[in-house]
Amino acid sequence: MKILAISDVPSKALWDYCTREKLAGVDIILSCGDLPKKYLEYLTNFTAAPILYVHGNHDGSYKGDEPGGCICVDDEVYIWKGLRIMGLGGCIRYNREDTYQYTEKEMRRRARKLWFKAHRAGGIDLLLTHAPAKGLNDGDDKAHKGFETFNGLLEDYQPKWFVHGHVHLNYDAKLPRVCTHGRTTVINATERYLFEIPDPDVTARRKFFWKNPAFTTEN
């Protein structure tokens, strides 16, 4: 399965010079937020691959007018061809000017509300967010700090992939595009990143899934 992850900055290679050939072979597009509505809708003209997205903190303009032809997976466990995706958009609250900002407590509550859907699916394969996890290639400034909640999700669900945006790679030359955290491959999707994963093996999954009770406890 070939996945195109995009976030934050429209890719000139796609926005200005997009052709069907450039998206040929892409099975699914994952947007981590903060991309213009027109950009996402533009991409739908050149591919039959579904475009799944979560909101970035600058996507307040989407309200009431979401990108046409795309699928919002914010606050959802969305399954596509066996790939189980948990979507949690937004960033840490740092002001009251932009929408889709959350305190740590608010993000924890959002994650907890997805427990039953994840349980019913037998777990998740991919965590799709806008912000990074706390201490995992996040920023030093308040606006770009990651969520501790995401660390809990990585530990409890152990998804194979964690795809996020928000922290642009040009902020720090030391920021990696791809790294690992335990069993999870972590991908910063800023602008665009193409990667391949094995087709999901539904038969190899556990029938039931239980989360760590420590994470479901409100602090």
- Terminal Cα distance for the chain, rounded: 39
Q: Is the pLDDT of residue 96 over 80?
A: no
Residue 142 backbone dihedrals phi, psi, to 5 degrees: -60, -40
Cα gap 150→162, rounded to integer Å: 9
- DSSP designation for 203: G
Return the domain boundaries, the chain: 2-196
pLDDT band (50, 70, 90) for residue 213: very low
- The pTM for the full model equals 0.93
119's CB contacts (< 8 A; 6+ apart) are 208, 209, 210, 211
Cα gap 111→201, rounded to integer Å: 25
Residue whose C-alpha is closest to residue 156's, from 73, 86, 70:
86
Cα gap 75→31, rounded to integer Å: 14
Q: Tens digits of per-residue pLDDT, 112-169? A: 999 999 999 999 999 999 999 999 999 888 989 999 999 999 999 999 999 999 998 8
CATH class of segment(s) 2-196: alpha beta
pLDDT band (50, 70, 90) for residue 50: very high
Q: Tens digits of per-residue pLDDT, 9-31? A: 999 989 887 778 889 999 999 99
